[in-house]
Structure 1
Amino acid sequence: MNSTQSSSRFLVAESETPEARKKRRESVGRSSGETYLDILRRLAPGATCDRIQPADADAALPPGDSLAEYDAVFLTGSPLHLYEETPETRRTVAFMRSVFASGTPAFGSCAGLQVAKVAAGDSVRPNARRLEAGFARRITPTADERSHPLLAGRPAAFDAPAIHTDEVDALPPGATLLAGNRLTAVQAAEIRFDGGVFWGVQYHPETGLDEVAGALRRQADSLVEAGLARGEDDVEAYALQVDALHREPNRRDLAWRLGLDEQVTDERLRLAEMRNFIGALVRPGR
């Protein structure tokens, strides 16, 4: 721990709806925001961490606080489809526009990246190729941005937890593509807009293997519909292996069977992007 981490103020923006939060808690015991809070308290012991739920009608910062008083904002994943005009999507995008305007640096995963793109004036779409479920494979940094600090420590190609039905198809002006793979062209990006900066990934570095298994179970019907499984029994059999590797991350037989290496099974390596963001952009008392 260093003084930068210990004196930081972080805001976690959890854009899951109340129903989605309930389902996730029933599945893995915590909401997406609670997962982020747990990870941040381990990456930056002593940091003050607050949470807001911008999709909710009654969302509000703690009394007397403003976005500019935070050292960083973290946007979680969410089942929201941002091409659908709903009160929840409008509130979430408006929140991110306020984050950009505040100048507070932000990081986001999965839907967090999509929210930042829409807030910067662009759009997202359903996955053009197929559902990326369980793990994103062979994520490759772009040749021009291989040295970008967000991806420091990552190899030339790596896998990461991922499950998403929507994608960022292109980036708005002021954005930089950092990584992609065969299924999803934009796996990591930097977006600059209205005086603010956002670093984001389409995958889930914050997600442990137990949460991957839970996500597969929650979306079993979609996996069958997409042709990735013959039935729910197939999904459950795969999820059981992922769960087992979570319990015993040194099981080489399970890692081999699932095609995973330490970039996924070693939490320290899996959290590279979050740690890199905190180290590079978080400056207490900006």
Structure 2
Amino acid sequence: MPTSNPLRLLVVESETPQEREERRASAGRSAGESYAATLVQLMPGCTIDRVTPSDADHAPMRPDTLAGYDAVFLSGSPIQVWEDQPETRRQLDFMRAVYASGTPAFGSCAGLQVAVAAAGGTVRKMPHRQEAGLARRLTATPAGRNHPMLAARPAVWDAPAIHGDEVETLPEGATLLAGNAAVRVQAVEIRHGEEGIFWGVQYHPELAPGEIGAALRRQADGLIEDGLARDGDDVEAQAALFDALHDAPDDHALWWRLGIDAQVAEEPRRRTELIAFIEHLVLPTWQRRRGPAEIAA
């Protein structure tokens, strides 16, 4: 990775201020802070700024300012993109500026939904129940099998996930890359405007198992209401398995109890889509925008 002229990355907090504090209380970090920590591991020496476009005091960023970054990453959050709220409108305006800047962007969960809606697609509440803990039996579409984001995935895989909303319709310029029985749109590429490009997934390649456990605890009431858990003890038992996997990722007894394989348990495989995005879009953008002389400096 570049060190003398480091990558400049922007992490977008999709959470509201209250949601950030709730996540910090349960998981130790906001979603954006967690994303930034993952990116530092993947790209040592990078510089990372965080921005909070959902906040009322957020100062809008112009496309030419966003073009100064080598990549933009949109975190997940409980924000409901289908609701016409001020914080949602600010998020969508921000993402439209990202598209206009030509800076490649990647988003997880709500980050995917924001990118879809900003380009003209629609998002809805899931009609049956939420997907919580793991997205099971993800399968690439024919386009996805030939796409670099999913090239390292097997024919079928699982991934950490927790969400109650989903993409309903994709915008013009979008390519569906993967889905499963629960959610039709699990991975997508969007090309919007003259140079805008976004890769995103409904699941969470950036999250560690312990963060999924914390998310299950935060959303325990909804899990019980949806019939995924009978009571709080059920939620705690499942969350404890993710905590244990976080501490012992090589414990095959935990793999068996959770019904997972290395695609979830092993950190590099869990981060497959992020790594592909860095290799295929972030580093080429850095090289193109810096130029040979600046890179060599």
| TM-score, normalised by the number of residues in structure 2 | 0.92
Matched-pair contact (CA < 8 Å) for 2:143–2:176: no
Partners of 1:141 and 1:155 in 2: CA distance: 9
Match of residue 211 from structure 1: 211
Q: How many angstroms does 1:123 deviate by? A: 1.3
Q: In the TM superposition, what whole-angstrom CA distance separates every residue of 1:96-141 from its partner, at most 9, and x where no partner exists?
A: 0000011111000000110011100121001123210000001101
Structure 1 runs (4+) deviating above 4 angstroms are none
CA distance in 2, matches of 1:13, 1:144: 28
1:56–1:88 CA contact under 8 A, matched in 2: yes
Q: 1:1-286 counterparts in 2 under 5 A?
A: 2-3=1-2, 7-60=6-59, 66-195=65-194, 196-282=196-282, 283-284=285-286, 286=289
Name 2:295's counterpart in structure 1: none
Q: Is the 8 A contact 1:70 1:104 kept in 2?
A: yes
Measure, in 1, the Cα distance between the counterparts of 2:60 and 2:54.
Answer: 13
CA distance in 2: counterparts of 1:22 and 1:114, whole angstroms: 22
- State the secondary structure of the residue aligned to 1:12: strand
Distance of 2:17 and 2:202 partners within structure 1: 23
The number of residue pairs the alignment matches comes to 284
Secondary structure in structure 1 of the residue aligned to 2:24? helix
Instruction: Indicate the residue corresponding to 2:293 in structure 1.
Output: none
Q: Secondary structure at the match of 2:127?
A: coil
SS at match of 1:184: coil
Kindly tell me: are residues 176 and 88 of structure 1, through their superposed partners in 2, closer, same or farther at Cα, counting changes over 3 Å?
same
Q: Is the 8 A contact 2:104 2:281 kept in 1?
A: yes
Deviations 1:5-35 (A, max 9, x none): 9621100001101110111011010010011
Letter in 2 for 1:160: A
Structure 1: tracts of 5 or more residues without a match: none
The alpha carbon displacement at 1:260 in A equals 1.0
1:245 deviates by: 1.4
Aligned equivalents of 1:86 and 1:214: distance in 2?
A: 27
Q: 1: distance between equivalents of 2:57 and 2:149?
A: 33
Asked if the contact 1:52/1:61 (under 8 Å) is kept, the reply is no
Give the Cα–Cα distance (whole angstroms) in 2 for the partners of residues 31 and 110 of structure 1: 15
Name the CA shift for 1:224/1:27 in 2 (closer, same or farther; >3 Å).
same
1:233 Cα deviation (Å)? 0.8
3-state SS of the aligned residue for 2:257? helix
Q: By how many angstroms is 1:240 displaced?
A: 1.0
Q: Distance in 2 between matches of 1:184 and 1:255?
A: 24
Unmatched tracts of structure 2, length 5 or more: 290-297
Distance 2:57 2:183 in 1: 34
Preserved CA contact (<8 Å) 2:61 2:97? no
Q: Is the 8 A contact 1:52 1:60 kept in 2?
A: no
Q: Is the 8 A contact 2:60 2:94 kept in 1?
A: no
Partners in 1 of 2:274 and 2:53 — Cα distance?
A: 21
Residue by residue over 1:234-285, the C-alpha shift from the partner in whole angstroms, topping out at 9 and shown as x without a partner, is 1011111111111111111111011011111101111111111011111215
Following the alignment from structure 1 to structure 2, what is the Cα–Cα distance between the partners of residues 3 and 86? 40
What secondary structure, in the 3-state scheme, does the structure 2 residue paired with 1:59 have? coil
RMSD: 1.7
Residue 198 of structure 2 aligns with an amino acid whose one-letter code is F
Q: Secondary structure at the match of 1:169?
A: strand
| C-alpha spacing 1:126/1:61, structure 2 compared with 1 (3 Å) | closer
